[in-house]
Structure 1
Amino acid sequence: MKHSENQERQVNMKFVTLVSMVAALGGLLFGFDTAVVSGAIGFMKERFDLNEVEVGWAVSSLIIGCIVGAAGAGVLGDKFGRKKVLIMAAVLFMIGTIGSAIPDTFSGYIIARIIGGIGIGITSTLCPLYNAEIAPAKYRGRLVALNQLATVTGIFLVYFVNLWISGYGDAAWGVSTAWRWMFGVGIVPGLLFLVLLFFVPESPRWLIKQGRAAESLPILLKIHGEELAKQEVLDIKESFKQESGSIRQLFSPALRLALIVGVGLAVFQQVTGINAIMYYAPEIFKETGAGTNASLIQTILVGLINFLFTILAIWLIDKVGRKALLLVGSASMTVCLVVIGAAFHSGQPSGPLVLIFILLYVASFAVSLGPVVWVIMSEIFPNRIRGKATAIASMSLWTADYVVSQTFPPMLGSAGPSVTFMIFGFLSLLTFFFTWRMVPETKGKSLEEIESLWSSRKHESRQVNPKINEIDQSSRVI
């Protein structure tokens, strides 16, 4: 009997893992499209004669689309379902990818990047949300974090692609053609994502929300087995009865803290500087005296560290919990950024020293804020408004990303790398204290249990900033 139960459990995990991996491919598109510009920007700067502000716009125009996509993802996902909207996002991504590769004008490139960005904004919101809604509570952290693993895989792969393409011809070929190929190869993961989406089920929680519980039950049966599946249907239905589904519900005393935590972590993930390094890594390494090829190779090393430590995070997130990873990671990021800033302040930054601490910084981010923020954003909001609420947090994340990517080149040029990295270090320190005071532990709880955690604080609305220890204690009782 035990053997058959274990076998059933393995079969269930195979199903949910495969489905989660398909949805996580949206993260691969995210990683590819955000990082591909790091190898192309040098060639594009010469091709279109860009100034510093235009260089920032070439990078951040994608993020304008991401903000739009993230803003609409919740409403669209709640109305049409997670699966259909993700299919639409894959199509938008491919249109943007092809459009970015063929323009003869800078404005044509910008339009294409915004279109692709809309697709990325949708996937960045709905892919982790979909995985959270389909995953068993015990494994939800690692299954949602697959999205971040796919993202860093996309970043890592694109560094190799950029290096290979840039070495295919001379400098003139790079300016005229190489950057086009860098963008164009994105059609491959986009097409793969689109095709595989037709083979995954719709979110069972969305189906129940639409009054289609009979359609959700076969999906839940594959995940949990008969007894737990039927109980989960009842729990989900009960949670919907207690919710209005209105955005105004998020500002109620019961859920205000959830909104603050979701939006706060989303913003901190970006303003601590990770995408400044990912987008502009070759340019940063050039500041230390590295040549073009050396800086691209060092950038690949950044991608490798990001990839390996994200795998470590997936292993740890359901073992040690979300909060512990955030605290350790943000503290380590603070130290690394201060050291990098001090190295540049000396006037003669050592290439190896800066490289080592950038790698340590990336490792710290990859094991903490990188995957954990997306996991928390996808699980802390109630069922009926999860789509809209996650969209608000995701839109906040992309807005912060836009501000960082748009201001980083001018800031690097005017204030210098020392001040820039010191600012990022200060913001990492704020992230540590925000996590310590505001973020509860959600490891091992079902989405409905997390929802009741916030609801249990309905009568404790004396202040927005409750004692985190009380939350932790209540969460252990649930």
Structure 2
Amino acid sequence: MLGSAAIPCLLILIGRFELPESPRWLLRKGRVKECEEMMIKLFGEPVAFDEEQPQQTRFRDLFNRRHFPFVLFVAAIWTCQVIPMFAIYTFGPQIVGLLGLGVGKNAALGNVVISLFFMLGCIPPMLWLNTAGRRPLLIGSFAMMTLALAVLGLIPDMGIWLVVMAFAVYAFFSGGPGNLQWLYPNELFPTDIRASAVGVIMSLSRIGTIVSTWALPIFINNYGISNTMLMGAGISLFGLLISVAFAPETRGMSLAQTSNMTIRGQRMG
């Protein structure tokens, strides 16, 4: 069963062979002619770009004073979003069962409803990103996620559908950080280092998901489901505090501007 996940990965890998390079990346590598040919192939006519100075990509640049704070910021919000989410995905029926939904079909049905809200929650943020803005969306989402898990932990025997509703609120608002954890790296890192940044950040976040998936049954067994929900609320609260302190607002800015700003929102000289 676990090996079946390799099938869609293989199909995506094959499809990526024909994926064109980023035009800004080509320009930064000095491959201007290749960039122009690709634009003509894709759009039928030349496309004008701002001048890009050729730059050499160095992996260690990720750890300089400008990039590394953003690596830590995005890794933190990504980890705070996926730790509770992966736990709910992996042990959803068991969790909702322990919170009063019973076992068997009822627990499975409740988990299906929650999973549906995880999917639906990804859609509104696509619009809110450019209306409310990145920073308010991230802060508001983490606030609602924290509240939902805190309610589950603090109020025992709250009723079957109130349990499902609280989980649905968490699932729906997790779409905000879920979208931004992919958008922020593409806006905050220059083209030549962007792919490496995403890879490092994702690797850091996966450590959290591995630990949470392994530790959740042990934590529930030793401390109970209510304390487990409060632990999830604490993780979301940490994501909220990180967002309040460091989340940048990049709405309406060009990639040249966003990849030149610091963690405090100032532009580098």
Pairwise same-fold verdict (TM > 0.5): yes
Question: Hey, what's the Cα distance between the residues in 2 that align with 1:256 and 1:197?
Answer: 28
Aligned residue among 44, 49, 56 for 1:231: 49
The answer for the alignment partner of 1:291 in structure 2 is: 103
Distance 1:217 1:318, change over 3 A: farther
Distance 1:295 1:386, change over 3 A: same
C-alpha distance after superposition, 1:29-57 (max 9, x if no partner): xxxxxxxx8xxxxxxxxxxxxxxxxxxxx
Question: Hey, what's the Cα distance between the residues in 2 that align with 1:191 and 1:249?
Answer: 31
The answer for the alignment partner of 1:203 in structure 2 is: 22
Give the drift of 1:339: 0.5
* 3-state DSSP of counterpart to 1:384: helix
CA contact (8 A) 1:270 1:404 kept: no
* Uncovered stretches (5+) of structure 1, i.e. residues with no partner: 1-36, 38-61, 63-95, 98-112, 117-186, 455-465
Give the drift of 1:383: 2.1
CA contact (8 A) 2:93 2:103 kept: no
Aligned amino acid, residue 362 of structure 1: A
Q: Does 1:397 align with 2:205?
A: yes
Question: Hey, what's the Cα distance between the residues in 2 that align with 1:378 and 1:290?
Answer: 43
Normalized per residue, the structure richer in helix is 1
The answer for the alignment partner of 2:221 in structure 1 is: 413
Distance 1:357 1:223, change over 3 A: farther
Distance 1:408 1:211, change over 3 A: same
CA RMSD of the aligned region, Å? 2.7
The answer for the alignment partner of 1:270 in structure 2 is: 82
Aligned amino acid, residue 216 of structure 1: C
Question: Hey, what's the Cα distance between the residues in 2 that align with 1:398 and 1:256?
Answer: 18
The answer for the alignment partner of 1:215 in structure 2 is: 34
Give the drift of 1:199: 5.0
CA contact (8 A) 1:313 1:371 kept: yes
Q: Does 1:335 align with 2:131?
A: no
Q: Which runs of 4+ in 1 moved over 3 A?
A: 189-200, 205-211, 218-226
C-alpha distance after superposition, 1:232-270 (max 9, x if no partner): 4x2xx32x44xx532332333233322222222222222
The answer for the alignment partner of 2:257 in structure 1 is: 449
Q: Does 1:308 align with 2:120?
A: yes
Aligned amino acid, residue 431 of structure 1: G
Alignment of 1:23-422 (within 5 A): 96-97=3-4, 116=6, 187=7, 189=8, 193=12, 196-197=15-16, 200-220=19-39, 222=42, 226=46, 229-232=47-50, 234=51, 237-238=52-53, 240-241=54-55, 245-271=57-83, 273-287=84-98, 288-343=100-155, 346=156, 348-366=157-175, 368-422=176-230
CA contact (8 A) 2:149 2:232 kept: yes
* 3-state DSSP of counterpart to 1:231: coil
Higher relative contact order (CA 8 A, sep 6+): 2
* Uncovered stretches (5+) of structure 2, i.e. residues with no partner: none
Give the drift of 1:349: 5.0
Question: Hey, what's the Cα distance between the residues in 2 that align with 1:378 and 1:224?
Answer: 26
C-alpha distance after superposition, 1:293-352 (max 9, x if no partner): 222222221122122221111121122221111110011111111100123xx3x45221
Aligned amino acid, residue 360 of structure 1: V
Aligned amino acid, residue 396 of structure 1: L
Give identity over the alignment, percent. Answer: 24
* 3-state DSSP of counterpart to 1:415: helix
Question: Hey, what's the Cα distance between the residues in 1 that align with 2:77 and 2:44?
Answer: 31
Give the drift of 1:194: 5.3
Give the drift of 1:357: 0.2
